[in-house]
Structure 1
């Protein structure tokens, strides 16, 4: 019988995004890969502590049960195969069921997202994230300085998304960057009934929507749109989601207010934003990732 990942939500994740390998990484970044490999081998039976994306992965895998496997998590890492052994052992020690991993020993691994048909790639490597986004995959650079996720909602996967250049295209953001707030508001008001094109994270939101509809008596998904938009530009965002037939549980139109405190109240397992200043502020309160997409991340 052939094995397939069809009809599953597939998440690819680097080892540093899943586990706290910061001490080991400092050895690697000092320019001694052999010492790094030896350190990982010495610590083979020492389970790594949970990393920034650990809560998100653990909760998503909780959608699997004996009757159905709806979520697949694959480690996709620049690590060497020896370090890969520690990743799998750490997963087992932390009750994370991982079966698959690709370890490329320094080479960029994002090309393997294609055969995986991944719905999300989480990595601490900015270059790999940019490559994944350019290839059409939802991807974010995990900020390892983020605080860990709250433990207050063990039976809910909570995910928060920025709007423009994340869930939606950067069409409106380009107007704002070029012409300012007033032109942006007028542009969105005049196009309120016209759905925005999808952004890089629309496929993930759609996959989460399908997972939620599939049902699970033990777990549910709660999503939030957290955007700098305000009235009257809010209407186009809402109508776009309606046109996609996708429901979000909460929507926050903050009109430029800092997002961190609002995210702290929502307590997501992860937050995605394209603006580095928003991500940096959010990381003080919740696990956060930078989506290097759209005009705000254009390389001059």
Structure 2
């Protein structure tokens, strides 16, 4: 029977998100877009394993859901690298004991079109244009910050993922009210609509997929998932967020309603393996304490 990805959590990741290719990337930038120095550097280092990148710890943990003949998580490389540089990516994955067999290397062309063919549940990349295109195509995607702190293995048997609410798990409907009319109007808007679920945000499908993965795993599985909602909302606007999750029949393990407080201090306590937010201000606060992904969607990221 042919191999299928339909029943798996599929993470598509760029080579720079998985591995530390910052020195190689500087060679590309210094050549003003000429990829030949980058390709030569990668070829010269073909047998030198790349160091772990910002998303490496998350990928390693997710692969722990694959035990024996049970294959629940598939990680694929989706990269602007050339195919020769792709050899180093696969070699590095093997040396780090990451089980990655599939990838697409496009030598500079936008790779996001292959997300549909892979049936991807998440795309992580350091390229903001690729992330924006993936989000516009309907895929959960985030720009990773290679300079983010890489979490140590304090919880080797638990994956912790934290999500912002508006424009990430939920639509940016309420955020637009806040930015146009201010806090009082936002609170009034949310209180009047407390019983009406918010529309889906770009990362709702990922939260659903994580719950399916957790539900499918055996009770004695070596890895568990713990999720958190970390939002600038506060009472009374908190209620609509919780009621929306209830209407979706999705739960989170923790919810933080911070009312505009800096998120980094709270993320330091939760210690997520990854945090997703749509606002650069919150991402900058978070990346000093946790791997961080910028969800380039919603009114805070309008290009106009």
- Which residue matches 2:127? 125
2:290 corresponds to 1:286: yes
1:9 paired with 2:12, answer no
- CA distance in 2 between counterparts of 1:206 and 1:150 reads 26
Alpha-carbon distance in structure 2 between the residues aligned to 1:15 and 1:223: 26
Give per-residue Cα distances to partners, 1:71-115, cap 9 Å, x unaligned. 101000000011101111111111110010100000010000011
Q: CA deviation at 1:131?
A: 0.3
Instruction: Give unmatched runs, 5+ long, in structure 2.
Output: none
Q: Which runs of 4+ in 1 moved over 2 A?
A: none
SS of the counterpart of 1:243? Answer: helix
Q: Note the C-alpha offset of 1:36.
A: 1.1
**Alignment correspondent of 2:246:** 242
1:194-250, CA deviations, whole angstroms, 9 ceiling, x for partnerless residues? 111110000000000100111242000010000000000000101111111111111
1:139-178 to 2 correspondences below 5 Å: 139-178=141-180
The structural deviation recorded for 1:159 is 0.5
Aligned to 2:190: 188
The separation in 2 between residues aligned to 1:106 and 1:28, in whole angstroms, is 11
* Residue 261 (structure 1) aligns with: 265
Alignment gaps of 5+ in structure 1: none
1:38 lines up with 2:2 in the alignment: no
TM-score by length of 2: 0.97
After superposition, residues 55-70 of structure 1 pair within 5 angstroms as 55-70=57-72
Shift, 1:41, TM fit: 1.1
Q: Measure the CA separation in 2 of the matches of 1:90 and 1:269.
A: 21
**Of 228, 231, 241, the match for 1:227:** 231
Deviations 1:30-71 (A, max 9, x none): 124112111111111111111001111111111011131111
Distance in 1, matches of 2:160 and 2:60, equals: 12
Shift of 1:145: 1.4
Q: Does 1:18 align with 2:22?
A: no
Total equivalences in the alignment = 300
Residues 146 and 288, structure 1, Cα contact 8 Å, conserved in 2: yes
Alpha carbons 1:150, 1:267 under 8 Å: kept: no
- Give how far 1:150 is off: 2.8
Which of residues 109, 127, 131 in structure 1 aligns to 2:111?
109
Is 1:298 aligned to residue 299 of structure 2? no
Contact conserved, 1:150 with 1:268, CA < 8 A, in 2?
no
Comparing 77-86 with 150-159, greater Cα deviation is found at 150-159
What does the per-residue CA deviation read over 1:1-22, in whole Å, with 9 as the maximum and x for residues that have no partner?
Answer: 2121011001100000000000
